Chains A and B, each alone.
Chain A
Amino acid sequence: MTDKYDAIVVGGGHNGLVCSALLARAGKQVLVLEANDQVGGAAVTREFADGYSVSACAHLLYQLQPSVRKDLSLSPKLAAEDMTTIALGENGEHVRLRRGTVLGVSDADADSYRGFHKRMSRFADLLRTYFNKTPPRLGTKDFQDLKTLGRLGFDLRRLGKTEMREFLRLIGINIHDELTERFDSPLLKGALSLDAVLGTHLGPRSPNTIMTYLYRLAGDHGRVALPAGGMGSISDELAHVARESGVTIRTGMPVTRIVVGNGRVVGVETGSGERFDSLTVISNADPKQTIMQLVGARHVETGFTHRVHHLRMKGNAAKLHLALDGLPAIDGLSKKDYAERIVIAPDEHYVERAFNPAKYGACSPEPVLEMTFPSFRDSSLAPTGKHVMSAVVQYAPYDFKGGWDDAARQAFEAAAIRAIERYAPDIAQRITASELLTPADIEREFRITGGHWHHGELTLDQFLFVRPVCGAAQYRMPVDGLYLCGAGAHPGGGVSGAAGRNAARAILSREKAA
């Protein structure tokens, strides 16, 4: 059986759904083929224990772009908005951060943080403008490229001389240096370090961590929200919008091959051997999988294969899900604080020390955590009176020495529980079921090479003009008709929809030009 579509999207992750919906609204016949039984990719809600559900991978909404919301008229239901970050401290002395204010630190630190946040937000806003644009190519005479590039230069200059210098000084360096220069409070430094390194293979002393911090801030001015019904609700809404727009979505259809004929894509083939024809194939899979597995090295050139093969995309973040028979008691937290984002990163050295073993393929004995109790505001996720905890735990390297097995998984889970126990001594007694997803599990379940949630490390050498690699930074891959629309493309990961939206726009404008 062969069906012909104007475009086929490989993978129904949130970016794939955004892309397909926008193409359909432009009058295209679009087919989305999703391998799993539900769409959403890493933005899904699923039951991990009887009666307990949780956002299976991404759990906090930082980045959903206003442009995407507007274009698709999305109105996601949120269980919590503009959440406070609570950095847990000894003896119940916690630090609380929200927008530019911080509580629980000295006046000097609070002042300093206000200035720091203001400056960082300004830089992040600049970045955000470019998240919603196709990055310009360097060294071309293309008018659009030159215009965007000129605009970038102008925007940088418009920061003012001092601020532009500051931006250029900061963009490549590590966050540790900047934090130690500005702040005294270990908890504050720990929490900000954590923000900079979440989801990366970087420690606070690694170069480039100011950029990852800015990336996080750039999403929605650093505001964090918790979608009602888990992250899956965002995907469900996107799928609904896509279907309304005329997109055909088929689940349980893993694409095993992007078919190339005579140097251009002509369709895709699924695991069951079904063939779908289209001259435009848009991959929501990561770039490595797209090129090395789905297309095949023989259809692209050597230099390109080399770059894709060497993309750094080994995940380091594990996901921990706990079913609890009640909320754990944490000294110094009021009841409503359980609705907030709670982090365990006592100081910046702790975060760096947690990272150390990961360089050598071992897990952190004392991991850092970003925790939420989504059931606190959203009773649909757990039976009445019970709760779920969803946490990102670092560092658990993808290429764990000796390989990930149940023993390794249990050992890391135990380390995570021990870290929580320091603040919530009764946590172990409260657990009725648990699940730990290592990067290897994330790779398998969500089909992300290396289990890296950005589909490739977010560092300057894999960013903007060169994301994912030179020769493919404008969503167009060097095989005619093949595009990339996932987190591996500019700007990167997080539930933002920016890559999907930009890809759709790039495809449509290319068609217009042709």
Chain B
Amino acid sequence: MKIQEVHQGRLHSPFYSRLSALDTLNQWHEWKGYSSADALYCEDMEYFAIRNATAVFDLTPMTKYRITGPDAPDYIDRLVTRDMGKIKPGRVAYAVWCDDRGQVIDDGTIFHLREGEYRLCSQERHMAWLQTAAIGFDVSIVLETADVAALAVQGPTSFTVLSKMGLDGLEDLKPFGLMNFDFDGADLMVSRTGFTGDLGYELWIEPGKAELLWDALFEAGKLYGIRAMGTHALELARIEAGYLAAYQDFLPADATVRAGRTRSPLELGLGWLVDFKKPNFNGRRALAEEKRRGSTWRLVKLDIEGNKAAHHSYIFAKEKGNKREIGFVTSAAWSPVCKQNIAIGTVRMPHGAVGSNVWVEIYYQREMHWSRAMARATVVDKPFWFPPRRSATPPGPY
């Protein structure tokens, strides 16, 4: 019997040689088996590259599944809550999928690569669920994380950089669109997607061409402020964009033990992704019932007074005299670009209507001693950061 060699220890992405060459901090963490940098030289500078120039992030470790087969369209359509029939080949959809109780397992992006052929990308691994969901369908689901090298190229000058690199016609690419280019004889797929809420693209290529692509990209971006970034900068950008992170703003339902700790898409502000016109999808019956009966939780985006980030704070209805909290903050940051103290949190219904005020209890430390402040927060509707350039087609030159 032949024993397949299994890689021991952390994996290196095909971009590792280039990332480690730029790395001065030696600050790495594990991301689904891969080494991934927290930051390479300065997380603040990396963050400002996203908002003012171009930042490049290695997203190879992101979980990617290739879903094909005669029943793939029906399969995908039942899997997620939104109507995938409307997502034509060459388009990408942000989607969320639920268990039978209508509780979110994860969110992610689904690329309709070619007619009936999909790539599903998510933070977490989901092979068990995807296989279970495949019972009764003629589909093939293949984990292709290691077979695709991927880079996020995000920021106002990203379009210019990619054009300089020779990607002609990219100006026509709309948000959530896909384009394919020839790159040194290989297929380079470019999607106008990202996790920063800014103008930006994601590049997908075979691992053998990864370093070549990196070099071409950085050569083209030299005069446009291109920088590599780590996950800390990205985390700040995604909170500004109002995007959710699994295990932070919600727990994957299939990995949660305690009752009441999971969330439905309606409770995560993702009701716009739930298409009740679709006759069937996982969680539909439960979600229809929830809609009728009312949700327990509501996700809120908070604009908080002051400048102390409200990490892990309880949320209260009033400043004083509260019997108990109404919720808690799940992600918080001081946003340099918005000059706002922002947070994403979850509160019990009926609290947290858009425009209403809640109070956030912030603990902070000054020279060892802890202090506590109650800060007024306003529930806002829109993402904190949503520049027009994010969706302008063609994107402006910067």
Given contacts A260-B279, A296-B136, A309-B136, contact A301 B74 (CB under 8 A): no
Instruction: Give B98-149 interface residues, CB cut-off 8 Å to A.
Output: 99-100, 129, 132-133, 135-137
Taking a contact as CB atoms under 8 Å apart, the answer to whether B136 and A298 are in contact is yes
Most buried by B among A261, A262, A305: A305
**B376 close to A (CB within 8 Å):** no
Taking a contact as CB atoms under 8 Å apart, the answer to whether A302 and B133 are in contact is yes
For the complex, count residues of A whose C-beta is within 8 A of B.
19
> Given the complex, which residues of A lie within 8 Å of B136, measured CB to CB?
292, 296-298, 305, 309
Taking a contact as CB atoms under 8 Å apart, the answer to whether A299 and B280 are in contact is yes
Q: Which of B75, B99, B280 contacts A303 (CB 8 A)?
A: B99
Q: Which of A263, A297, A303, A305 contacts B279 (CB 8 A)?
A: A263
> Given the complex, which residues of A lie within 8 Å of B74, measured CB to CB?
298
| Minimum-distance CB pairs A-B, first 9 | A297-B136, A263-B279, A303-B100, A302-B133, A301-B100, A309-B135, A262-B279, A301-B282, A302-B282
The chain B residue with its CB closest to the CB of A302 is B133
Taking a contact as CB atoms under 8 Å apart, the answer to whether A302 and B100 are in contact is yes
**B395 close to A (CB within 8 Å):** no
CB A286 to nearest CB in B, in angstroms, measures 15
Instruction: Give A485-507 interface residues, CB cut-off 8 Å to B.
Output: none
**A300 close to B (CB within 8 Å):** yes
> Given the complex, which residues of B lie within 8 Å of A305, measured CB to CB?
132-133, 135-136
**A304 close to B (CB within 8 Å):** yes
* Interface SS majority for chain B: loop
Q: Can you add 17 more A-B contacts, CB < 8 Å, to A298-B78, A301-B78, A303-B132?
A: A262-B279, A263-B279, A292-B136, A297-B78, A297-B136, A298-B137, A301-B280, A302-B78, A302-B79, A302-B129, A302-B132, A302-B135, A302-B282, A305-B132, A305-B133, A306-B135, A309-B136
State the CA gap A299–B280 with chains docked (Å): 6
> Given the complex, which residues of A lie within 8 Å of B71, measured CB to CB?
298
State the CA gap A309–B280 with chains docked (Å): 19
Instruction: Give B67-100 interface residues, CB cut-off 8 Å to A.
Output: 71, 74-75, 78-79, 99-100
**B284 close to A (CB within 8 Å):** yes
Q: Which of B78, B137, B285 contacts A478 (CB 8 A)?
A: B285
Most buried by A among B75, B79, B132: B132
10 A-B pairs in the complex with CB atoms less than 8 angstroms apart: A260-B279, A292-B135, A292-B136, A296-B136, A298-B74, A299-B279, A301-B282, A302-B129, A305-B136, A309-B135
> Given the complex, which residues of A lie within 8 Å of B78, measured CB to CB?
297-298, 301-302
**B283 close to A (CB within 8 Å):** yes
> Given the complex, which residues of B lie within 8 Å of A300, measured CB to CB?
280
Taking a contact as CB atoms under 8 Å apart, the answer to whether A263 and B280 are in contact is yes
State the CA gap A478–B281 with chains docked (Å): 12
Most buried by B among A260, A300, A309: A300
> Given the complex, which residues of A lie within 8 Å of B137, measured CB to CB?
297-298
State the CA gap A478–B100 with chains docked (Å): 11
The chain A residue with its CB closest to the CB of B285 is A478
Taking a contact as CB atoms under 8 Å apart, the answer to whether B285 and A297 are in contact is no
Given contacts A260-B279, A262-B279, A263-B280, contact A301 B285 (CB under 8 A): yes
For the complex, count residues of B whose C-beta is within 8 A of A.
20
State the CA gap A292–B136 with chains docked (Å): 6
The chain B residue with its CB closest to the CB of A264 is B279
> Given the complex, which residues of A lie within 8 Å of B132, measured CB to CB?
302-303, 305-306
The chain B residue with its CB closest to the CB of A479 is B280
State the CA gap A262–B280 with chains docked (Å): 8
> Given the complex, which residues of B lie within 8 Å of A298, measured CB to CB?
71, 74-75, 78, 136-137, 280
Per-residue CB contact flags for chain A residues 276-307 toward chain B (1 = under 8 Å, else 0) read: 00000000000000001000111111111110
> Given the complex, which residues of B lie within 8 Å of A301, measured CB to CB?
78, 100, 280-285
Per-residue CB contact flags for chain A residues 219-263 toward chain B (1 = under 8 Å, else 0) read: 000000000000000000000000000000000000000001111
Instruction: Give A458-481 interface residues, CB cut-off 8 Å to B.
Output: 471, 478
State the CA gap A292–B134 with chains docked (Å): 12
CB A219 to nearest CB in B, in angstroms, measures 34
State the CA gap A471–B137 with chains docked (Å): 21
> Given the complex, which residues of A lie within 8 Å of B282, measured CB to CB?
301-303
Given contacts A263-B280, A296-B136, A297-B137, contact A302 B285 (CB under 8 A): no
Given contacts A262-B279, A302-B99, contact A297 B135 (CB under 8 A): yes
State the CA gap A302–B283 with chains docked (Å): 9
Most buried by A among B74, B135, B137, B281: B135
CB A298 to nearest CB in B, in angstroms, measures 5
State the CA gap A306–B78 with chains docked (Å): 14
CB A301 to nearest CB in B, in angstroms, measures 5
CB A449 to nearest CB in B, in angstroms, measures 14
CB B199 to nearest CB in A, in angstroms, measures 37
The chain B residue with its CB closest to the CB of A478 is B285
CB A300 to nearest CB in B, in angstroms, measures 7
Per-residue CB contact flags for chain A residues 166-195 toward chain B (1 = under 8 Å, else 0) read: 000000000000000000000000000000
> Given the complex, which residues of B lie within 8 Å of A292, measured CB to CB?
135-136
Q: Which of B79, B100, B129, B281 contacts A304 (CB 8 A)?
A: B100
State the CA gap A303–B253 with chains docked (Å): 13
The chain A residue with its CB closest to the CB of B281 is A301
The chain A residue with its CB closest to the CB of B130 is A302
> Given the complex, which residues of B lie within 8 Å of A302, measured CB to CB?
78-79, 99-100, 129, 132-133, 135, 282
The chain B residue with its CB closest to the CB of A262 is B279
CB A157 to nearest CB in B, in angstroms, measures 29
> Given the complex, which residues of B lie within 8 Å of A303, measured CB to CB?
99-100, 132, 282
The chain B residue with its CB closest to the CB of A292 is B136
The chain A residue with its CB closest to the CB of B71 is A298
> Given the complex, which residues of B lie within 8 Å of A478, measured CB to CB?
285
State the CA gap A261–B279 with chains docked (Å): 8
> Given the complex, which residues of A lie within 8 Å of B100, measured CB to CB?
301-304, 471
The chain A residue with its CB closest to the CB of B132 is A306
The chain B residue with its CB closest to the CB of A300 is B280
> Given the complex, which residues of A lie within 8 Å of B283, measured CB to CB?
301
